[in-house]
Amino acid sequence: MLRWKYSRPLLGVVMALLALAPILGDNPLSRPGLQQTMAVAFIWGGLALTYDLLFGFTGLLSFGHALYFATGVYVTCILINHEVVSWWLASLIAIAVSALLALLVGAASLRTTGITFAMVTLAFGEAGHVILERNFFNLTGGENGIALNANLIPQFWISVVNTKYIYWTALAAMALTYAVIWWVTESSAGRVFAALRDNELRVQVLGLNTQRFKLLAFVISAALAALLGDVMLLAAGSAAPRFADAGVTISLLLMVVLGGAVTRWGAVIGGIIYSVATTRMQDLTQQEFFKTIPKLIGGPIAEPAFVLGLLFIFVVMFAPGGLSGAYYKLRLRAITKKSQ
Amino acid sequence: METFILIGITGIGLGALYFLVASGLSLIYGLMGVLNFAHGSFLTVGAFVGFWVASKMGFETTIPEFLLAMIIGGLAAGLFALLIEQLLITRLYERHIDQALVTVGVSLVVGAVLGGWFGNDLRMFPTPMWFLTAIDIGGAQIPADRVIYISTAILLLIGNWALLKFTRIGLIIRAGVENRHMVDALGINVRKAFSTVFFLGGFAAGVGGVLVSVYSNGVSPLIAGSYLIYGFIVVVIGGMGSVPGSFLAAMLIGIIKQFANYYATGLGDFVVVILLAVVLLIRPQGLLGKVRA
CATH code of residue B259 = 1.10.3470
Q: Which residues of A touch B281 (CB under 8 A)?
A: 108, 111
Q: Which domain holds residue B206?
A: 2-282
In-domain check, residue B289: no
Question: How does pLDDT run along chain A (340 residues), one tens digit per residue?
Answer: 556 677 788 888 888 888 887 777 777 777 778 888 899 999 999 999 999 999 999 999 999 999 999 999 999 999 998 887 888 899 999 999 999 999 999 998 898 887 778 878 888 888 888 888 887 777 888 788 888 887 777 777 777 777 888 899 999 999 999 999 999 999 999 999 999 988 888 998 998 999 999 999 999 999 999 999 999 998 888 888 889 888 899 899 999 999 998 888 899 999 999 998 888 877 777 776 666 677 677 777 777 788 888 988 999 888 888 888 888 888 888 888 877 6
In-domain check, residue B292: no
In-domain check, residue B288: no
Phi, psi of A338 (to 5 degrees): -65, -40
Contacts of A181 (CB under 8 A, 6+ apart): A49, A50, A52, A53, A224, A264
Do residues B31 and B176 touch, judged by C-beta distance below 8 A? yes
In-domain check, residue B107: yes
Mutation test of the interface with chain A: which of B118, B220, B232, choosing the one with the most A Cβ atoms within 10 A? B232
CA distances from B66 to A110, B50, B52, B56, B222 (A): 44, 9, 11, 11, 22
- Model-level ipTM above the cut of 0.90: no
Taking the C-alpha atoms of B157, B163, B166 and B171 in order, what is their torsion angle to the nearest 10 degrees? -120
Is A111 in contact with B112 (Cβ distance < 8 A)? no
Q: Which positions in chain B have a beta carbon within 8 angstroms of at least one beta carbon in chain A?
A: 29, 33-35, 88, 91-92, 96-98, 100-102, 104-109, 111-113, 115-117, 226, 229, 232-233, 235-236, 240, 266, 269-270, 272-273, 276-277, 280-281, 284
Distance from CA of A197 to the nearest CA of B (A): 12
Other residues' Cβ atoms within 10 Å of the Cβ of residue B187: 6
Q: What domains can you pick out in chain A, each with its CATH number? A: 30-339 (1.10.3470)
Is B233 in contact with A305 (Cβ distance < 8 A)? no
In-domain check, residue B245: yes
How does strand B134-137 pair with strand B140-143? Answer: antiparallel
Question: Which of A111, A115, A126 is facing B229, going by the closest CB pair?
Answer: A126
In-domain check, residue B287: no
Do residues B241 and B26 touch, judged by C-beta distance below 8 A? yes
In chain B, the number of structural domains is 1
In-domain check, residue B290: no
